Amino acid sequence: MQSDKPIVFSAKRISKDFGAGKSLKTAVKDVSFDIYDEEFISIVGGSGCGKSVLAKIMLGLYQPTRGQFLYRDKPIKNLKDHWNEVQSVFQDPFGCFNQFFTIRSQLEDALNILKDKPSKEEVRRRVDEGLKAVNVAPADIEGKYPFELSGGQMQRMLLARIFALRPKVLIADEATSMVDACVRANILDYLRKLKDELKMTVVFVTHDIGLANYVSDRIFIMHDGKIVNQGTPAEVLDNTNEPHTLRLLDDIPEVHKTEWIKNSHRSKK
């Protein structure tokens, strides 16, 4: 896809190796792509296909072993500067919050990373705004600790942090895989809202092609470290012949599929 928007991430034949010698494992193999400003990209693949490694390369947590990876035409050098603009939401919200501090204090701490540090009142106001953006009344979490909230609520807190920080790019790594189906639709709405209202570039990493279909502008299908298929949801999903995409589509249990699995035990209707 060609776009008139500036390029945010540009990868030119990047690879990432782990280990060496006999135990050498290449998690990302010769991957090239461009991600444009204000795009909603989904990276889809099964476990172990290298999608999380790719997300971590975007966050600057890993450096590619070979190839060139640029963020807005520059390599990622200073991580603190990078995280001013690129932020992430992870899979397990409980692992992301310290159990010993209140949620509000941690949300307020998060704004410390910004270069031009906002004043105390500004911080409070922005956290309140963030909470309102995910439909949580600030009074509801006043004085609460992470273990007092449910998983779905905690996942919203992570998103509230993003709404308060307002980075330019969000990397959401399996942000919906720990929450149940009703909350999932909610989280997706908020991700979409980040893109539509705050003009954020969102990279959404998931194993569920159904979610990707619903939210994304472009989808990358990964398998075994390579991007095997990419394009708009319609291009990727409809009438595709690419075997890995077909497999991912085939494996989702959906109501409209007549026989998802051989079920010899179903009492015949």
Contact set with another protein (CB under 8 A): 46-48, 135, 150-153, 177, 179-186, 188-189, 207-211, 213-214, 233-234, 237-238, 247-249, 251-257, 260-267, 269
> Closer to another protein at the Cβ: 7 or 249?
249
Minimum Å gap between C-beta 6 and another protein is: 28
CB distance 178 to 89 below 8 Å: no
> Closer to another protein at the Cβ: 72 or 145?
145
Query: Among all chains, which residue has been given the structure tokens 């194993």?
Result: 207
d(CA 121, CA 128): 11
Q: What percent of the residues of the chain are helix, what percent strand, and what percent coil, each to the nearest 5?
A: 40, 25, 35
- E strand or H helix that includes residue 34: strand 25-36
**Which residues are bridge partners to 221 per DSSP?**
44, 229
> Closer to another protein at the Cβ: 115 or 268?
268
Minimum Å gap between C-beta 147 and another protein is: 14
> Closer to another protein at the Cβ: 14 or 202?
202
d(CA 257, CA 255): 5
Q: At what angle do helices 120-133 and 103-110 cross, to 10 degrees?
A: 110
Minimum Å gap between C-beta 81 and another protein is: 34
Instruction: Using DSSP, state whether 262 is helix, strand or coil.
Output: coil
> Closer to another protein at the Cβ: 51 or 126?
51
Minimum Å gap between C-beta 205 and another protein is: 12
Minimum Å gap between C-beta 145 and another protein is: 17
As a whole number of Å, the end-to-end CA separation of the chain is 47
